Chains A and B, each alone.
Chain A
């Protein structure tokens, strides 16, 4: 065992010294390799972090949402549906929700209006999200007015702003009281936007959804798990698309590494010739060259991944943000929670180290089979 270790250590020593003898070439190779890993890792880390964020946000949302459908469109749902739902065994609570969107011409942006039930908002007051504070430069105590559905003016006094910690979900929030909401949009009492239902036992969710579907045929039932799954698919898809687009660069990288590995300098050829003349076998030379590749691969992978980590979690992933997260006027400013996933690292390893290794095998072999007498002459 120790003999084996000793041999590997000597080989590694030799590898490192021969890499450092050709510093320019090695550094050039490393730079390109690191850049490739950096780009791919940034995409993957960002997509995963944002997926994680969505899952965290959705974890607190109600298990089941019920919306009324009229002619295939979402419509207001009458409060009497609540009684039918509450009668179903296993439903812990059901309540009507009021929410919608409001276009603010002054900010040229859409706000998300919601009526919170706990704690309630005083009529005439409003609690606004961080994004709204930014676009309207509103402070607590300021007045904001909007045209209601019938043209009359509805005035709100800013009560307070929501902190930036939850900006991902609250940036465009505009929380008002129930009376104000109904006045703004002309929604009569007894109608809600949709119904939120919480279920105590997660294994009963599907059955309860089935019962609601049977009892209220004019409704659409949305489960939290479905939303989660959809988000996951969408982000996976975006990430995959970007990776496929980047496949060209992986290919270019493979060609580059092939070129680099096959362009042996006269000195390198002589070095291999001398090694073979002093008794190295072809297999040993191949092992040496493969080990050089391994050293370059692992260092580039580590550096590239670290840089990508810094890029995504400390500098907001400026390079890929628009593609992966979409775009809006009131986009939240937030910092992603760092999250490294094992599967991701393994996948990235396959995407970079595997093509590199395959691409360099043939040039390495070409170098290793040279006859000592031809190169030393």
Chain B
């Protein structure tokens, strides 16, 4: 299975990324120990030069890490045709015990990497390397995370077995693959949609406040992660059901498939971007206290929060559109339905 081109590319990216990040750890330790902008020692000058190299490398690596999350899910979905019983990415990820841990770790790395990128961006705006210690401290924390993600991913790909040629009758005797989203799916669609709209509304209010007053971005950051979780939950409990128009199909991956017009990407890309930028806004605001960043940090915070709000808004709009165009009526006693039935033409 390792000879799949996309798998080779993913392994290559994670290997290079892990090596690069791990190789920068000794430098990061050196910075934490001996960084002193006031000193004019040779060591300090060397470190100041080297920090450009490390941050450029990491920007490349971490951006590739963000891209590889998309490639991973896309590839998992595509590979489902190779496995008996697999219909979408869930089946592929369930082939062995490492599939879902890989996905979760990749999502964690996604958020950690994007937070680091914002930190790096903010740091580059100040003339006196204001966040250099925080940045490299975060890097030391990021290294084991990336190594773990790379290791788990390798274990997952090594464990993929589709011995189709060996046993033609494997279809007949292999058990059905199932995922345990029962708990998530068990939440009533009404509750999840109400929670989602409350969360999105809250984000808009908080975001507006942060844009106007320049405060509250840290709360926005924390809540954007909460909203992310609520939104994912709503996708499983309600939104995907509306897309499939089948009350019992709760798969969060099938919406990525071509049969449903890849509509899942229209949901997930804004959602992930919005949550990551929300976290970035919090980071930018908490660094505004530093003198050399007093002007730049609030500006970056506003930009992050603004785009994050746009992302959440887009997610909400796509969700509303999906529910509106669906032929499924999941919630019969809803005010929306009574309005729709009064309108000429009625619900589609």
Contacts and interface: CB of A to CB of B under 8 A. Distances in A.
B165 A347 contact: no
B52 A282 contact: yes
Contact of B164 (A226, A286, A361): A226
Interface in B143-201: 162, 164-165, 168-172
Contact of B71 (A282, A350, A357): A350
Contacts of A225: 171
Interface stretch (B5-13, B26-34, B134-142, B329-337): B5-13
A278 interface: no
A357 B168 contact: no
Given A237-B3, A350-B13, A213 B169 contact: yes
Interface stretch (A180-188, A305-313, A364-372): A364-372
Interface stretch (B73-81, B108-116, B205-213, B313-321): B73-81
A243 to B, nearest CB: 6
Interface residues of A, number: 45
B20 interface: yes
B52 A369 contact: yes
B74 A343 contact: yes
Contacts of A368: 52
Contacts of B162: 229, 233
B60 A358 contact: yes
A223 B171 contact: yes
Contact of B75 (A239, A244, A343): A343
Contacts of A206: 171-172
A240 interface: yes
B92 to A, nearest CB: 13
Contacts of B20: 358
Contacts of B52: 282-283, 286, 365, 368-369
Contacts of A282: 49, 52
B4 interface: yes
Given A233-B82, A244-B8, A343-B6, A226 B168 contact: yes
A81 interface: no
Contact of B56 (A213, A343, A361): A361
Interface in B251-304: none
Nearest to B51: A282
A239 B64 CA distance: 23
A207 to B, nearest CB: 9
Interface in B64-96: 64, 67-68, 70-71, 74-75, 78, 81-84
A236 interface: yes
B22 interface: no
B54 to A, nearest CB: 9
Contacts of B61: 358
Nearest to A365: B53
Contact of B3 (A240, A286, A351): A240
B229 interface: no
Contact of B53 (A223, A357, A362): A362
Interface residues of B, number: 41
B171 A209 contact: yes
Interface in A218-276: 220-223, 225-226, 228-230, 232-234, 236-237, 239-241, 243-244
B69 to A, nearest CB: 12
Contacts of A344: 5
Given A229-B162, A346-B71, A354-B12, A369 B3 contact: no
A232 B3 CA distance: 12
A298 to B, nearest CB: 15
A210 B64 CA distance: 46
A213 B60 contact: no
A232 B162 CA distance: 11
Given A229-B84, A243-B5, A358-B20, A210 B172 contact: yes
A342 B71 CA distance: 10
B16 A244 contact: no
B326 interface: no
Given A228-B81, A236-B3, A344-B5, A369 B56 contact: no
Contacts of A283: 52, 124
A279 to B, nearest CB: 13
A109 interface: no
A44 interface: yes
Given A210-B172, A358-B20, A362-B53, A229 B9 contact: no
29 contacts: A209-B172, A223-B171, A226-B168, A226-B170, A226-B171, A229-B82, A230-B165, A233-B162, A236-B82, A240-B3, A240-B5, A240-B7, A243-B8, A283-B52, A286-B56, A342-B74, A346-B67, A346-B74, A347-B9, A350-B13, A351-B5, A354-B13, A354-B16, A355-B12, A358-B16, A358-B60, A362-B57, A365-B52, A365-B56
Given A223-B171, A365-B53, 5 more contacts: A243-B5, A344-B5, A347-B71, A361-B57, A362-B57
Interface of B: 2-10, 12-13, 16, 20, 49, 52-53, 56-57, 60-61, 64, 67-68, 70-71, 74-75, 78, 81-84, 124, 162, 164-165, 168-172
Top 8 closest pairs, chain A to chain B, by CB: A240-B3, A350-B9, A365-B53, A369-B49, A347-B9, A347-B6, A230-B164, A229-B164
